[in-house]
Amino acid sequence: MDAVAVSAAPLSTQHVVAVARNGAAVSLDPGARAGIDAGRTVVDRHLAGDEPVYGLNTGIGALADTRISRDDLEQLQRNIVRSHAAGAGEALPAEVVRAMMLLRARTLSTGRSGVRVQVVERILDVLNAGITPVVPSRGSVGASGDLAQLAHIALALTGEGSMLVGNAPRPSADALREAGLEPLTLQAKEGLALINGTEGMTALGTLALGDMGALLAAADVAAAMTIEAALGTDRPFAEDLMALRPHPGQADSAANLRALLDGSAVIASHRESRHAVQDPYSMRCAPQVHGAARDAHMHARRVFEIEMASVTDNPVILPDGRVESAGNFHGEPLAYALDLLAIGATGVASISERRTFWILGPGVSRDLPPFLSTHAGLGSGYMLAQYTQAALVSECKGLAQPAGLDSIPTSGSQEDHVSMGWTSGLKLRRVLELVATVVGIELLCAAQALDLRRPLVPAAGTAAALAAIRKRVPFLDQDRDLSVDIAAATEMVRDRDVVAAVRAAAGPLL
């Protein structure tokens, strides 16, 4: 996807990823201009009257009852942006900020926020220029939207704060000037419109959806390789058995395992063997655990698809001319979805570590050397790789505790219940990073074990995964610095290299 046209129409995950990560060009759909102008006309009409209207000629939050004179309306918007740019901590990755900007431009394009067309165009100009506001990562409580983070974006658009030019932070005024852009001058309602929405949580969740989808496919590949290398059986994944408990995610994961193990000479070599009546749960129940995470992923996708088609501003401009305060900025639906994704991803990491543990230790009962070492005792093989998995899984468990259950009142208790969904999103992002490493380590160990099974030949799907891994990581014939191998395997999970190799050789995975 090389270009994205922004309008009132919903964005997709693919749109967000294309702009946030791949630098796709953005433009304002010509058809959106009439709706934006109509919303601004409503704002102007109310400003010409004497009635107080929240956010147009009043203070905000707990100061909503304070009337602002016409002469001070532009200063009010500048003050809103400056005062709310109160974030702290390390800066967000550029991809998150770019996703937020795209999503906010889409919301403003609905005409429900009452901004001028120039505001939307300036956001898109900055995206196309490849300069990115520097946005601190902490400060949102996930209600009234992600105020602090969006305010830092708005601040940069006005020529204050900082922007990244390449990887170097520069004063926003300089970055804009060098890009041939003028700082944005805010008019009535526009500062509030730029900062009031759930686009921060939505950006974190939308990017996470793609990352988790890749992890789920990689986890099925790793499980298939481990089951095969452990001389496990594929019988528990039979379609008629899965139909007895028809959860969609479980069915999809089992279908992947059947496809990945189809035609395996390794499994055929012991299909009638009496070496084990049952495989351990970490192998036999892989579709049930992976499938539960897949179902969580499907639920979260529905939530974020709705959010990317929503208006989360406050107040909102309605077609009949009303300007109404509402609560669509509350992040609880997103918080719960983000927390659920973190729980599901942690479960995938937990069972992956268990499978790895099994082939490193108990696997000796099925003729695998201790810790998959070719010189066990003199060498430790992959012993410490499982330690790393254990540490990362433990960290994931702590991070997966739901943040969306918390609430701390803000704004003098005007905002007396908040979602903490931003924290849920940040934690999820870290969980997915850790899970990619856990699954990468399982892939390394499973590849080692499959090589140890030679001359038995793996299935086409698992053989393709093994070949892809061996392009980056050689067989462990003697102890070496495993951190380099782990980093390479993690990168292959994140970049979808292993899954892509499987799909090229054995067909699509669900």
**pLDDT, tens digit, 9 for 90 and up, residues 365-393:** 888 999 999 999 999 999 999 999 999 99
Structure tokens at 180: 């041939």
User: What's the CATH architecture for 204-311+346-506?
Assistant: Up-down Bundle (1.20)
DSSP state of 370: G
pLDDT at 125 over 90: yes
The pLDDT assigned to 276 comes to: 62
Confidence band, pLDDT 50/70/90 cuts, at residue 278: confident
Please state whether beta strands 25-28 and 3-6 pair in parallel, antiparallel, or not at all (unpaired).
Answer: parallel
Looking at the DSSP bridge assignments, the partners of residue 5 are: 27
pLDDT at 273 over 90: no
Phi, psi angles (nearest 5°) of residue 169: -75, 140
Helix (H) or strand (E) holding 103: helix 94-108
The pLDDT assigned to 68 comes to: 86
Report the C-alpha gap between 392 and 382 in whole angstroms: 16
pLDDT at 87 over 80: yes
pLDDT in tens, 322-361: 988 889 999 999 999 999 999 999 999 999 999 999 999 9
Nearest to 253 by CA among 435, 510, 65: 510
Looking at the DSSP bridge assignments, the partners of residue 3 are: 25
Report the C-alpha gap between 342 and 133 in whole angstroms: 27
pLDDT at 272 over 80: no
Confidence band, pLDDT 50/70/90 cuts, at residue 405: very high
Query: Across residues 88-116, what is the average pLDDT?
Result: 97
Report the C-alpha gap between 383 and 402 in whole angstroms: 32
Rg (CA), the chain: 26
- Which has the minimum average pLDDT: 58-67, 357-366, 406-415, 457-466? 58-67
- Which has the minimum average pLDDT: 38-52, 148-162, 395-409, 481-495? 38-52
Write down the catalytic residue from 54, 281, 336, 387: 54
Report the C-alpha gap between 206 and 297 in whole angstroms: 11
Confidence band, pLDDT 50/70/90 cuts, at residue 275: low
Report the C-alpha gap between 56 and 47 in whole angstroms: 7
Confidence band, pLDDT 50/70/90 cuts, at residue 274: low
The pLDDT assigned to 362 comes to: 81
| Cis bond before residue 455 (omega within 30° of 0) | yes
pLDDT at 78 over 70: yes
Helix (H) or strand (E) holding 90: strand 88-91
Query: Across residues 221-228, what is the average pLDDT?
Result: 98
- Which has the minimum average pLDDT: 135-149, 176-190, 371-385, 399-413? 399-413
The pLDDT assigned to 390 comes to: 98
Confidence band, pLDDT 50/70/90 cuts, at residue 287: very high
Whether 382 is catalytic is no
Please state whether beta strands 316-317 and 323-324 pair in parallel, antiparallel, or not at all (unpaired).
Answer: antiparallel
Angle 232-350-265 from CA coordinates, rounded to 5°: 20
For the chain, the structural domain boundaries read: 3-197, 204-311+346-506
Residue 408 backbone class (left: φ over 0; alpha: ψ -120 to 50; beta: rest): beta
Q: Say which CATH class 3-197 falls into.
A: mainly alpha
Average pLDDT over the chain, rounded to an integer: 94
For the chain, what's the residue count?
A: 510
State CA 149 to chain mean position distance. 17
Confidence band, pLDDT 50/70/90 cuts, at residue 10: very high
